[in-house]
Amino acid sequence: MMPAQRLARPSTFRTLPAFLMMAIVMPLLAGCGYNTIPTAEENAKAAWSEVLNQYQRRADLIPNLVETVKGYASHEKDTLDAVVEARAKATQITVTPDTLKDPEALKKFQDAQAGLTSALSRLIAVSEAYPDLKANQNFLALQAQLEGTENRIAVARRDYIQAVRDYNLTLRTFPSVLWATLWFRGNQPFANFTVDEDKMQPPKVDFGTKQGG
């Protein structure tokens, strides 16, 4: 037993300097901005998750909205079908945080969501012709929820745009570009929304109720 113990000691002593070195080096790395890139990357991914949450919230509202409108305007079949089809397409196209490096994937997602927004706008326009529908309590509740959701989508998109800008800048600007070159070579810029800021205002969701219908 004694020889084995004596053999184990040198190994222990050899690892001790390594631990001491790590204890010294890691705070220095953090102080020099080593964590800037991974922190910005995680912030961008978190912002994207919130974008997805809000778009999903809108998608969840649509079936009830369609059914409510159908109860008062069932002959508006083309408009109702267009909303259902646009919702199906929008929910089928997903972009996970791990695939945010693909601009084409984000564009397909954005186009699908824009198609759903357009279909909803047409449905809203149709509803203006039905006073009884605009006075329906379920419809009023859905209106309020949809308005709130559209506002949250706009906020989430803006937060994502800013988070991506911050992250992408860390890959190109000094001193974090040094870390990108030495340690984070696999990191690539994230794709961003292509619409202009002035086109990201939430659409008006006014069913005429604010003017007494």
Q: 204: pLDDT confidence band, cut at 50, 70 and 90?
A: low
79's enclosing H/E stretch is: helix 77-92
Dihedral sign (CA 197, 198, 203, 209): positive
Q: Could you identify the residue written with the tokens 């209106």?
A: 143
Buried residues in 132-159 as b, exposed as e (16+ CB within 10 A): ebbebeebeebbebbbebbebbeebbeb
| Tokens encoding 38 | 């991974």
Q: Are 128 and 208 in contact (CB under 8 A)?
A: yes
Tell me: the pLDDT tens digits for 182-195?
Answer: 889 899 999 999 86
- List the structure tokens of 111: 């186009």
| Residue in this structure with the two tokens 């202009």, named with its chain if needed | 196
Q: Residue 35 contacts by C-beta under 8 Å, 6 or more apart in sequence?
A: 29
Place of tokens 């357009």: 118
User: For the residues 78-95, what does the mean pLDDT come to?
Assistant: 96
CATH class of 37-211: mainly alpha
The band of 109, judged by pLDDT with boundaries at 50, 70 and 90, is very high
- Give the range among 9-13, 47-51, 77-81, 89-93 with minimum mean pLDDT: 9-13
Residue 134 has pLDDT above 70, yes or no: yes
SS3 of residue 213 by DSSP: coil
The number of CA neighbours under 13 Å toward the Cβ of 156 is 20
Interatomic CA distance for residues 161 and 48, integer angstroms: 9
143 within 8 A of 68, measured Cβ to Cβ:
no
